[in-house]
Amino acid sequence: MLRTVPYQELQYQRSWRHAANSRVNRRPSTQFLGPDNDSLTLSGVLLPEVTGG
């Protein structure tokens, strides 16, 4: 009997924050503001006959 449930897939997503500033007759400039929230997703199947639940 397993005490933990193994996962089949792990997804990790990172993102960063940028600010855009408008300029006359030019493309907007961007400035790096720092990291944004990270996201971690685990997916799997719970099998009671394997985990004992």
pLDDT of residue 53: 61
Is the per-residue pLDDT at 37 higher than 90? yes
Number of neighbouring beta carbons within 10 Å of residue 51? 13
Q: What is the DSSP string of 30-53?
A: EEEEEE---EEEEE----HHHH--
User: Residue ranges per domain, the chain?
Assistant: 10-39
Please, which residues have CB within 8 angstroms of residue 14's CB and are 6 or more apart in sequence? 35, 36, 38
**What is the rounded average pLDDT for all residues in the chain?**
89
What is the model's pTM?
0.55
pLDDT of residue 36: 96
